[in-house]
Amino acid sequence: MIKLSHNYSITVDERGYVLSQIKIRTTGKAAGTEYHSDMQYYSTLESALLGFWRELKRKVLSEHDGTLNEALNLSKTARKDFLNEIKGITGE
C-alpha cells in the first residue's frame, strides 16, 4: 500500500491500482478502527496518482468560499504539495 496525504492510499492487486480514502469507523463493535473506502480503480500507477490529484484539488476547492483568484492560488498550492509528494514516492 502507498500511503498518500489527506488520508488517501493506493493499493495494488492483480487487476490494477485502487485509490482509496482512509476512514475511521464511528459506530459498532469496530468503532475507532481504520478502513479503506475504495473510490476508483486504475490500470496504471500514473493514472491512480492523477486520480488522487483530481480528488485532492476537488477537496481543496470544495472547502473554499472566496474569489476566483483565491481559488486559483489554492489550486496552485495544492499542485505544489502534490508534486512534492510524488517526488517523495518516485525519489526524483
Q: What pLDDT, in 10s, does the model give residues 44-89?
A: 998 999 999 888 888 888 888 989 999 899 888 888 888 887 776 6
Q: What pLDDT, in 10s, does the model give residues 34-56?
A: 888 888 999 999 899 999 988 88
**What's the domain range around 16?**
2-90
CA distance 11 to 91: 19
Distance of CA 24 to the CA centre of its chain: 16
Strands 2-4 and 8-13: antiparallel
Strands 34-42 and 16-24: antiparallel
Total of domains in the chain: 1
**23, 24, 35 from 32: Cα distances, Å:** 9, 6, 10
pLDDT, position 83: 82
